[in-house]
A = this chain, B = another copy of it.
């Protein structure tokens, strides 16, 4: 790890390189230095040529690979430049840069690693050059082997040592000068001088003082975003505070306090609240989304704004801002982080409508344009007009909403329908917010076109809702997971799997009852390191749809619900068990996944492994919620899935075999085979979640997979 001067842009690679040749002058120009022989290519990770940051987690090893290509057969050297986040942004002082050596692998590929010890925006770049000394040394070895006269070669080496001495200081300088003198001392016996020239210490010494006069510098700094661990590993629980009251009573932040031990006991770590703001009255929706609300209807929390306030106020029926802060603090004491829902839309009653009419689209009849998706009309909702002339003041105000809730103790935001708001706004807003608060987490609730979902992640959203909710067959799940966990997607998109949401009761959960809810729980919690449930509807297995649609009947979005969380048939024990398994097994805290072939399409089998390969889990799931399924599972991976195979390959079989410890049933099996026969009955268990152990030398002692 050295500290050389910063790489500056190489004109041969400057951003106008692609324009060269457009005008006579540019091309006829003499390059600044035509002796930069090394080309830097094929950078990984790199998202859209560095336009967007790759994402990592605090404590991760960042490993970057590049191709270094130069003419001929000379030995090349290079380094990865890393620029950590500025300690204090307001200081504005140029951040420190650190170099790490690039090590050669095969086929002109080189890589370097560094530990990511801070959250925030990092940058990295590259520098590479021809290593004249290593090249010379390799030639010397061959000539000596061929017993050629190397007298002149030693003098050439002495020149290289002398030049390095000029670049060095202190002890290194002295050592290099001494070596130069010895190599060029023709009085000395040739063999002794050759031996000295080949000493590994000398190679290392020269490596510390390379000749970078003709080094190629990569033209740009590539961005890298480092999040705290929760961005990668989280279990969310969605709860309507207003439904935590006594039956028939409007719940409050205070009544929600009583629900915290219950949520914490299931092992969740994020408590997500729908919007807590005052709810509009104009065109308020009644029960089951009825256009005609009665006096008693409470309306939808996403219909934000009334005379009582807007996005920076809390619904009086829920309590005060002080109550909210108290809830956030108490949740923290239960190991629960509060996540707040931000929906950037207003009702006709929102103060913004009167105070900032310039932020809304006015129709020729003077009315304000309400939300619509023809022929559907949402007259209770006004969208912001992101194309209005006052867009800048709108941006600043919307950003201030997040800033307000940050001051109230919120670090996690679930953003409602971000894909219907201007994308440049998100790119700017999240960059602004996270620079000062790099620990903020944004979950994008976007169920939309794939490229739009991916772009939201590139633009800054930390986690994203996914299509998991509608992926049911083994093939659908396998293909979707492989898409999500393969570069480039895995570099910027972090999935968060939800079996249901207040908006979605998928068809496959409407008829099958407990077995289906158990199945979707296990799938979500094991396939994805981030997952969430909408409760208590989920653990109480509410599966009654509004006829003909994938929505709940008597949807909690439009009315108070009175749940009985202590119902004896609740899924709570299974949820608690699975969350405990996730917390105890780092393999499930990542998405390094490999799928294994089975001879029964209704059995889904995959393994996950922690990056350090110290923890490996094998999951076998029965996708049939009606019947028991049995079949053979092959632990060997098909070579096609090479990309995923390595990190998630199960441990090699020791001579004394493999132990499979089912973390759901606590049963333990031993196997000498790479093939297993399994049978799963949905009435008893939806899956095996095996911790894989290799039997240690001693018969009675099991150690974790290494």
On A, residues with C-beta under 8 Å from B are 12-13, 15, 17-25, 27-28, 30-31, 34-37, 39, 41-42, 48-52, 67, 69-73, 83, 86, 89-90, 92, 95, 107-108, 121, 123, 130, 138-140, 142-143, 145-146, 148, 152, 155-156, 158-159, 214, 220-223, 363-365, 367, 372-375, 386-387, 391-392, 395, 419-425, 427-428, 431-432, 435, 449-452, 455
Q: Which residues of B contact A365 (CB under 8 A)?
A: 152, 155
Nearest-Cβ distance from residue A362 to partner chain B, whole angstroms: 10
Q: Which residues of B contact A48 (CB under 8 A)?
A: 41, 49
Q: Which residues of B contact A391 (CB under 8 A)?
A: 34-35
Verify A143–B374 contact, CB threshold 8 A. yes
Instruction: Return 17 A-B CB contacts under 8 Å, by A number.
Output: A18-B223, A22-B121, A24-B92, A24-B435, A37-B424, A69-B423, A70-B423, A70-B452, A71-B452, A107-B451, A108-B451, A130-B387, A143-B374, A152-B363, A155-B364, A158-B364, A159-B364
Q: Which residues of B contact A18 (CB under 8 A)?
A: 50-52, 123, 220-223
Q: A72 with B419: in contact, given A27-B431, A107-B451, A451-B67 (CB under 8 Å)?
A: yes
Q: Please name 12 further chain A to chain B contacts, defined as beta carbons within 8 Å, in addition to the given A18-B221, A22-B123, A139-B372, sorted by A numbering.
A: A12-B427, A20-B431, A23-B86, A24-B89, A31-B424, A34-B428, A36-B424, A37-B422, A39-B423, A41-B48, A69-B452, A155-B364
Verify A23–B220 contact, CB threshold 8 A. no
Q: Which residues of B contact A51 (CB under 8 A)?
A: 13, 17-18
Verify A123–B92 contact, CB threshold 8 A. no
Verify A27–B432 contact, CB threshold 8 A. yes
Verify B156–A364 contact, CB threshold 8 A. yes
The 3 closest A-B pairs by CB, nearest first: A146-B375, A49-B49, A155-B364
Q: A386 contacts which of B24, B35, B450 (Cβ < 8 Å)?
A: B35
Q: Which residues of B contact A158 (CB under 8 A)?
A: 364
Verify A431–B39 contact, CB threshold 8 A. no
- Most B CB contacts (10 A, CB to CB) among A18, A24, A31, A435 go to A18
Q: Which residues of B contact A155 (CB under 8 A)?
A: 363-365
Q: A450 with B107: in contact, given A37-B423, A71-B423, A391-B35 (CB under 8 Å)?
A: yes
Q: Which residues of B contact A140 (CB under 8 A)?
A: 374
Docked Cα-Cα span, A451 to B107, in Å, equals 8
Q: Which residues of B contact A372 (CB under 8 A)?
A: 139
Nearest-Cβ distance from residue A333 to partner chain B, whole angstroms: 34
Number of copies: 2
Nearest residue, chain B, Cβ from A221: B19
Nearest-Cβ distance from residue A560 to partner chain B, whole angstroms: 32
- Most B CB contacts (10 A, CB to CB) among A364, A373, A420 go to A364
Nearest residue, chain B, Cβ from A25: B92
- Most B CB contacts (10 A, CB to CB) among A142, A387, A419 go to A387
Nearest-Cβ distance from residue A166 to partner chain B, whole angstroms: 17
Nearest-Cβ distance from residue A218 to partner chain B, whole angstroms: 11
Docked Cα-Cα span, A148 to B376, in Å, equals 10
Nearest-Cβ distance from residue A436 to partner chain B, whole angstroms: 9
Docked Cα-Cα span, A419 to B374, in Å, equals 62
Q: A455 with B39: in contact, given A21-B431, A49-B49 (CB under 8 Å)?
A: yes
Nearest-Cβ distance from residue A160 to partner chain B, whole angstroms: 11
Q: A72 with B425: in contact, given A23-B92, A222-B18 (CB under 8 Å)?
A: no
Nearest-Cβ distance from residue A358 to partner chain B, whole angstroms: 14
Nearest residue, chain B, Cβ from A140: B374
Docked Cα-Cα span, A320 to B57, in Å, equals 71
Q: Which residues of B contact A52 (CB under 8 A)?
A: 18
Verify A121–B387 contact, CB threshold 8 A. no
Nearest residue, chain B, Cβ from A424: B34
Q: A387 with B142: in contact, given A107-B449, A223-B21 (CB under 8 Å)?
A: no
Nearest-Cβ distance from residue A343 to partner chain B, whole angstroms: 15
Docked Cα-Cα span, A89 to B22, in Å, equals 8
Verify A387–B214 contact, CB threshold 8 A. yes
Verify B220–A15 contact, CB threshold 8 A. yes
Docked Cα-Cα span, A449 to B73, in Å, equals 10
Verify A220–B19 contact, CB threshold 8 A. yes
Q: Which residues of B contact A420 (CB under 8 A)?
A: 71-72
Q: Which residues of B contact A41 (CB under 8 A)?
A: 48, 451, 455
Q: A452 contacts which of B15, B108, B152, B427 (Cβ < 8 Å)?
A: B108
Verify B21–A139 contact, CB threshold 8 A. no
Q: Which residues of B contact A49 (CB under 8 A)?
A: 48-49
Verify A15–B15 contact, CB threshold 8 A. yes
Verify A387–B37 contact, CB threshold 8 A. yes
Nearest-Cβ distance from residue A66 to partner chain B, whole angstroms: 11
Q: Which residues of B contact A23 (CB under 8 A)?
A: 86, 92
Nearest-Cβ distance from residue A424 to partner chain B, whole angstroms: 5
Verify A71–B34 contact, CB threshold 8 A. no
Q: Which residues of B contact A121 (CB under 8 A)?
A: 21-22
Docked Cα-Cα span, A148 to B372, in Å, equals 13
Q: Which residues of B contact A138 (CB under 8 A)?
A: 374
Nearest-Cβ distance from residue A297 to partner chain B, whole angstroms: 25
Nearest-Cβ distance from residue A572 to partner chain B, whole angstroms: 39
Q: Which residues of B contact A449 (CB under 8 A)?
A: 69, 107-108
Q: Which residues of B contact A17 (CB under 8 A)?
A: 51
